[in-house]
Structure 1
Amino acid sequence: MARTRPPPAHCLLLSSPPQAIHSNGRCAVTNALLECSPQCGHLGELALTMPSRRASDSSKRTPEPIESLLKDGHQAHIKSQILDQEDYLRHQRLIRGLIQLWLVVGNLIIAALLALLLWVTDPAVSLVVTIGSALIVSIVAGLSLYYRQYERIRQGKLRLRKLNQVRKEHLLEEASQAGDASLLAIHKRYREEAPDVVEAYREESNKYRRTHNVLQGITIVGSITISTLATAAVTQESFRWLTVAISLIVGIAAGFTGYFKYRERSFNLQQTADSIERQYYSVELRVGRYRGKAEADAYADFAHEVEWLREEQSKRQQQLEQPAEVKQEQ
């Protein structure tokens, strides 16, 4: 009498009847994915196996909805979500920087190569068309990638703001449940809004710093190029107008740098952001000026210090925007 071969250990034979199986390969009872196991030799029997794609799906997990965090999110879990989102934004900003580098430097190299071929040699039409097409495709593709990256960063910032808002609401709820006084609760809420202020200052500082670096780079590279072209213009008259055009661009860039003072604006904003962040952690750890103070006094001093820092930043900003004549009169 032939013995029935038992199924392999990796298979879990279902006792459900065949009618319990959907046409899409899922069990009507457990809603689990089912696969036929020809290795087990049991025709007509179904084996429940773990699909191999489940491991890959775990790496593509979608972010947890904000609504679920608002309902039953724990403080530690929300903080972990915030840290993950900040790391994601740093990664996306790095990619955006590489795309910007290609848009500026890469396309300039291609354009310079095309201009060099047109001016120095007599290239074939097919070569000019190829390089020109490559330049157009590079610019269009770079702009498309930059816009896509911009949308990713915008969505990431929006989610980060929502996560911070959820964290604030949880902290306020805990403060109200603990029976804190109304003034202390206001100071705590003000402290939880400090990271948003720091982030706004740093974003504006980065914007001014990038503008300053671009203008300074144009000035440096343009000055070197002018010296080279001025030497070449002695024998090649076609370089004279190019020298004039680059000189105009360098002069405009230098004028904008000196008048708007982008570097000073960036430095002041970054300094204020660092100072507010230092106070943010100091009041929580009770170090520095908050050492040995009661909770209510520490949070009150924190609010006073942050307001003073923001007021000083506004004054420095106004001084940078004033003309030189007004500063001399003052």
Structure 2
Amino acid sequence: MAGLISDSSGGTITDSLIQYRRDIADLKQRIKNRRLQVFGMFGTPIFLVSTLMVGASSKVLLWLHSEMPNAVLNVFVISALILAAASGVQFYLEFSGEVWEDSGTSVRELMLELSLAEERHVLEARSRTPPSADRQASYRERLPSEIVRLRMESRHYRRLHLLMQWLLFISSAAVSAVTAWFDPPQPAKGVLICLGFTVTVITAAVGYFKPRERAFNLQQTADNIEQHATAFELGIAPYNAPEEARNLELFATTVEDMRADQRMREQQLDQPQQGQQQVI
């Protein structure tokens, strides 16, 4: 087994590769956090200046010869104080170097560190690649999670499609009901406009995103993969060859072909109708 092969440092290949993955995941999270920190440090002063400029402009344009209402003035003052306090706290945390992990480190440096970590991971995996039989067996063990992912996405699109359809049904029925109930149309005109807008948007969204077709394709792919996985476990056709290696190779090839077909169907759904006909 690959996890039992020792490397030069006394550990295992599997542990070494897992550690690389953990380091990469940690760097990705640090990059996200650092981007939020930088956005806060530079965005908060910009919002503060914008708030002050909006307040001054409102005073000049609307209340040049009169007093600004206390409610409006309080909104501008409180917003400015909150933004000023937030800006001060963020700059303190940045330059104190005690709270934020990557204080003083640019996002570019973290991106470079992530790129180097990914390159080291690739080189390490390439130099310690297990035999193809072990890789194929590991691939088979990862398939249950892939099936779960496909079915979760299928349920998501199916629920989205049902929600859109119910909204479409209710809005379409409400248009007729409101039209028949109110005569003259006021004050129902605004209701009719909103309902008509909802019907138009939902119809366009269903036609563009095609959640029902996406749910069907995902569920079909998950069922096909599960069917082949069951056939492999039971040793029935087409995985009844005497050589286990041959069965593993055929199984991995078949599943990858199904996943490629699924990606192609997703791409076809993302294209306009004319582009889909050309692809087909």
Aligned amino acid, residue 320 of structure 1: L
Partner of 2:272: 323
Q: Which amino acid aligns with 1:219?
A: L
Instruction: Show the counterpart of 2:217.
Output: 268
CA RMSD for the aligned pairs? 1.6
User: Contact 1:233–1:240 at 8 Å: present in 2 too?
Assistant: no
Q: CA offset at residue 323 of structure 1? A: 1.3
SS, match of residue 297 in structure 1? helix
Partner of 2:177: 228
Q: Distance in 2 between matches of 1:237 and 1:293?
A: 79
Q: Describe the superposition over 1:61-88 as per-residue Cα deviations: whole angstroms up to 9, x where unpaired.
A: xxxxxxxxxxxxxxxxxxxxxxxxxxxx
Deviation for aligned residue 1:285: 0.6
Q: Distance in 2 between matches of 1:313 and 1:300?
A: 20
CA distance in 2, matches of 1:286, 1:305: 15
Conserved? CA contact 1:226–1:243, under 8 Å? yes
Deviation per CA, 1:262-300: give whole Å up to 9, x if none: 110111011001111111121111113112442111111
Alignment of 1:182 onto 2:131? yes
Q: Following the alignment from structure 1 to structure 2, what is the Cα–Cα distance between the partners of residues 318 and 241?
A: 39
Residues 1:240 and 2:189 are matched in the alignment: yes
Return the match for 1:277 from 206, 226, 251.
226
Structure 2 unpaired stretches of 5+: 1-129
* 2:164–2:202 Cα contact (<8 Å) kept: yes
Of 123, 133, 152 in structure 2, the residue corresponding to residue 203 of structure 1 is: 152
State the one-letter code of the partner of 2:215.
Answer: S
TM-score by length of 2: 0.51
Contact 2:171–2:199 (8 Å) recurs in 1: yes
> TM-score, normalised to structure 1's length?
0.43
Q: Do the aligned residues in 2 keep the contact of 1:205 with 1:267 (CA within 8 Å)?
A: yes
Listed as ranges, the matches of 1:12-91 within 5 Å are: none
* Pairwise CA distance, 1:233: 2.1
Q: Based on CA coordinates, which of the two structures has the bigger radius of gyration?
A: 1
Matching residue of 1:305: 254
CA distance in 1 between partners of 2:206 and 2:221 (Å): 22
> Could you give the per-residue CA deviations for residues 1-58 of structure 1, whole angstroms, max 9, x where no partner exists?
xxxxxxxxxxxxxxxxxxxxxxxxxxxxxxxxxxxxxxxxxxxxxxxxxxxxxxxxxx
Contact persistence 2:269–2:276 (CA under 8 A): no
Q: Distance in 1 between matches of 2:139 and 2:277?
A: 38
- Secondary structure at the residue paired with 1:288? coil
Residues 111-126 of structure 1 correspond to what in structure 2 (within 5 A)? none
8 Å CA contact retained: 1:286, 1:293: no
Letter of the structure 2 residue corresponding to residue 193 of structure 1: R
Kept in 2: contact 1:208–1:263 (CA 8 A): yes
Deviation at 1:315, TM superposition (A): 0.6
Counterpart AA for 1:226: V
2:164 alignment partner AA? L
Cα distance in 2 between the residues matched to 1:208 and 1:294:
40
Preserved CA contact (<8 Å) 1:201 1:273: yes
Identity over aligned residues, as a percent? 33
Contact 1:229 1:239 in 2 (8 A): yes
Listed one character per residue, the Cα deviations across residues 77-120 of structure 1 (whole Å, up to 9, x for unaligned) are xxxxxxxxxxxxxxxxxxxxxxxxxxxxxxxxxxxxxxxxxxxx
Moved over 6 A (4+): none
Cα distance, 1:235 vs structure 2: 4.6
One-letter amino acid of the counterpart of residue 167, structure 2:
I
* Aligned mates of 2:277, 2:224 — CA distance in 1: 29
Residues matched between the structures, number: 150
CA contact (8 A) 1:201 1:269 kept: yes
Aligned to 2:239: 290
Deviations 1:162-215 (A, max 9, x none): xxxxxxxxxxxxxxxxxxx93222111100000111111111111111111111
* Corresponding letter in the other structure for 2:181: A
Offset at 1:251?
Answer: 1.1
